[in-house]
Structure 1
Amino acid sequence: MSLNLNPVSVSDYRELARKRLPTQLFDYIDGGSYAEATLDDNVAAFRRLKLRQRVLRDVSSIDTGTEIFGRTWKIPAALSPVGFAGMYARRGEVQAAKAAEKFGVPFTLSTVSICAIEEVAKATTVPFWFQLYVIKDRGYARALMQRAHEAGCPVLVFTVDLAVLGARYRDTRNGMNAAMPLGKKLKVALDFAKRPGWIRDVALGGKPLDFGNLREAVPNARGFGEFGAWVAQNLDPAMTWKDLEWVRANWPGKIVIKGLMDREDARIAMAEVAPEGIVVSNHGGRQLDGTPATLDALPAIREEVGD
C-alpha cells in the first residue's frame, strides 16, 4: 500500500500510520497488553454486532445530533484521550482538538499529552474535556484540575483502570520500558532515521516534544523512558472509591469515570461518586488482557445505571 493512498477506512489510516511512523511509536499506539486477546476481541465485537435494517423510511433529512452535558453535538461520539498524540503529528493534540471542533464532537485532552492544556485552549473556541489519571501526588493532581478548570474545561474524565501499568510486550521489545543495550539503541535510531517525513514534520517541526502538562513534574523528560519511570512512581495502586470523594471535592465541573467494565463497579460508582457519565472501557485492551470486549460489557452496565 502506497503512502499516496487516498484513505477511506480505519484500516487504510492504520496502514498509512504504519508506513509513516517509527516502529516504536506505531507499536505503542497500535498495541495492547500481553497476548493482545482483549484488543483483538474489541475489534471482533463490532464485527459480531448486527445492525437492524429497516426500509421505506423517509431518510431525505437525517439529524444524528445529540445533547451531551447541555451541549448539542453532531453525532453521539467523542474523541477519547490519546497519550503522546503530539508524537504522531505536528502538535497533534491541537490538530485533533481543531478537527473535533470543526466537525462538532467533544475532544478529550490526555494528562500525558505533548501539547499543554493552555496551548489547546488557546487554539480552540469550543471547551474541551480533560482526562486525569490516578496520581499519588494529590497536590499536582489538584494543580492539573485547576489548570483545566481555568482553561474552561467543563468535564473531567477520570481514568480508574490504570492503578498499575499493563505489560505491553511490543513496548518492551522496542525498548520503551527498559534500558536498551547499545546495539538495540542503534537499531531503534536507524528505524527512526528511515522515516524522514516524520522527522521533518514532527521531530523538527513539532517541537517542543515534551509532556506539556507534566513539565513541572518531569522537567527533564525527553522520551518514553523518563515518562515511564514517572508513571511507575506516581500511579496510585492504593486508591479506592473513597478517594474519588477527593476528586469530587476538588473539581467544580462534571465528572466522567472512564474504565468501568463490571456492573457492580458501576453500581458502586453511582452510589459513591454519582458521576455525570461513565465510559465503559478496557483501555483499548492495553491494561488487563483477557477481559471482555467493551461492547460486550456495555449492556449489563447500561442496565445497571439506567440513564
Structure 2
Amino acid sequence: MVLSPAQRPPGGSETFMPPPASTPAWQALADHHRVAAGSHLRDLLGDDKRTKALTFALRGLCLDLSKNRLTPDTLALLIALADERGVAARRDAMAAGEAINATEDRAALHMALRARAEDGFAVGGMPVHGEVQAVLDHMADFVAGVESGTRTGATGKPFTDVINIGIGGSDQGPRIACRALAPYRRRGLTPRFVSNVDATDLTETLETCDPETTLVIISSKTFTTAETMTNAMTARRWLTEALGPGAVAKHFCAVTTNDDAARDFGIGDDALFGFWDWVGGRFSVWSAIGLPLALTAGMDAFRDFLAGARDMDRHFLETPLAENLPV
C-alpha cells in the first residue's frame, strides 16, 4: 500500500513500516516482560538507586517512574523501541511543519502557538509567529476592555459571567484549564461551559446568569458544528428576548476560521478571534480557544500558561529520548 507524504516513515519510504510487534525492539521487550513478570514492586523498591535512575524533572515538574513495576532496563528497551520506530524523526517533522496529520494531510503545529519568534516555526515555508502574535494582541485588547469596564454589555453593566459554547477540543481544553487554574481566577467573572446539545445543559446554565452581564463565546472552527450552533442560537434568543437584537454584538464573540458566518450571526469584527487549520482541536487551548482562561485569569496568566508550555516544547525538541519527559 502506498502512503501519503504525512504517513511515510522517516526516510521517505513509500511502504508501510513493519508492525511494531514484528520488530527486534518489540521482541526484546516481550522477552524482558516474560522475565520480569514475576517481580513484585516491594522488591524493586529495595534498590536504593532506583529512585534516582527513574526520576526526571524540569522546571519544578517531577516525573517519578520508580513507583511503577518497571526497571531501568525496561525504560532502556522502551527507548530502543522509540528509536527503532523513528519517534525523534517524526517529532522533528512535526516541528518543521510537515503534514504529519495524516487524516487531513495537514501540519500539526500547535507548538507555534506558544513559541517565540526565534523558534522559527513555519507552515509551507511561511513563518507563522506574526499571525499568532496578532491574535494574542487582539485577545489582550479584548481582555483589557472587559477588565477595565470599557467593554460592557448592552446596558453598560460589566460582565459577571462568560459562557463558552463549544464541543470537543473547543470545550474540553479551556474547561480543564480554567478548572486547573481556578486559584488564579480574578474576581468578578465566572467561567461556564456548555457542550451538550441536550437543552437541559444550556437551560440550567442560563438560569444562573443575567442577560445584562453575560458574555458568550462561540468556539467553532467552521461555525457550522450542529451541536455548537444549536446552543448558540438558543443563547442568542435568550439574550435578544431580554435586551433586543442589537445586544448580540455587545454580548457575543467568536473563535472561528469562518468570519463571514460569525458576522452573519451578528458578531462584530472586534469580537472575532481567528485560528488556523494546522491547530488540531485537542491542542487548541493554546490558541484563542483559550479565551475563557484569558478572561478569567487575566492575559498575563495566559501568557505564563503559554510560556510554561514552550519550556516543555523546547525540552521535548532538544533532549535525548532517554531523558525526555513527554517521551
Same fold (TM over 0.5): no
Give TM-score scaled by structure 2 length. Answer: 0.21
Give TM-score scaled by structure 1 length. Answer: 0.22
**Greater RCO between the two (CA within 8 Å, min separation 6)?**
1
Bigger helix share: 2
Radius of gyration: which is bigger? 2
